[in-house]
Amino acid sequence: MFYIEHIVIDEPRLYDANDAATSHGFTAVPPMTIEWSELLPTKDKQMLSRYQQNLPTDLTEQVVLSLQATTDQNYQATLKSTNIVKNFLNKAISISGFVVPIDVQGNRTMTSFFLVPYFGACIHYPPPPPNQLIYVTIPNGMPATDFQMPYTISGVLRQDLYEDPLGTSAYSLDLLTVEKFYEQPDNFRMH
């Protein structure tokens, strides 16, 4: 079987911060590319893996596992966890995911959004745990994007609890760039 690992597409960024001081600090140290699983503390990652990875193919086993998940208090607490991984805080990172708009103006300019690990999170499916949502504000706004398309965002990661009817995030990002994503997905999370 043949897989394309990386496609090079020369497209302009959808958003690029204009603040020269922030951009200068960002370009001085290239952003660290991280995956969603790296934002989960080890304990949370292990608990989520118990019910979300290597699912049984037998329907009866799937039902039993689902029932266990609904009654497992530790798993239910992990679904609401605001525990974070501190070694990425205040560092330039790059991460890919899907945009869930929060504030969109009448002219279709988006001023804030959640970045989430999988399509449909917060809209068609229950939201991921707060430590799997990143709240992003766009000071000058940017045109609303195709929400079915994945994007790579870059910026400085912060610890910041933000609550919205769509979900709660434990991280925020001082946004520097938004680009379309064309690589292989992060395969840790399932929905």
d(CA 47, CA 25): 37
Say whether both 20 and 114 belong to one domain. yes
Say whether both 104 and 135 belong to one domain. yes
**Of 80, 109, 136, which residue is a domain's last?**
80
Residues 90-146: pLDDT tens digits? Answer: 999 999 999 999 988 888 889 999 999 988 776 667 788 999 999 999 888 887 777
User: What six digits make up the tokens of 121?
Assistant: 């999170």
- Amino acid at position 137, single letter: T
Q: Is residue 7 in a domain?
A: no
Residues 3-48: pLDDT tens digits? Answer: 444 444 456 666 666 554 455 555 556 899 999 999 999 999 999 8
> Are 172 and 113 in contact, with CB atoms under 8 Å apart?
no
Say whether both 46 and 32 belong to one domain. no
Q: Is residue 174 in a domain?
A: yes
Domain that holds residue 170: 15-38+85-180
Say whether both 89 and 24 belong to one domain. yes
Residues 75-94: pLDDT tens digits? Answer: 999 999 999 999 999 999 99
Say whether both 33 and 99 belong to one domain. yes
Q: Is residue 26 in a domain?
A: yes
Say whether both 152 and 130 belong to one domain. yes
What is the secondary structure of 2-69 as a DSSP string? ------------SEE---HHHHHHHHHSPPEE--GGGGS-HHHHHHHHHHHSS--SSHHHHHHHHHHH
User: What does the pLDDT read at residue 65?
Assistant: 85
What domain count does the chain have? 2
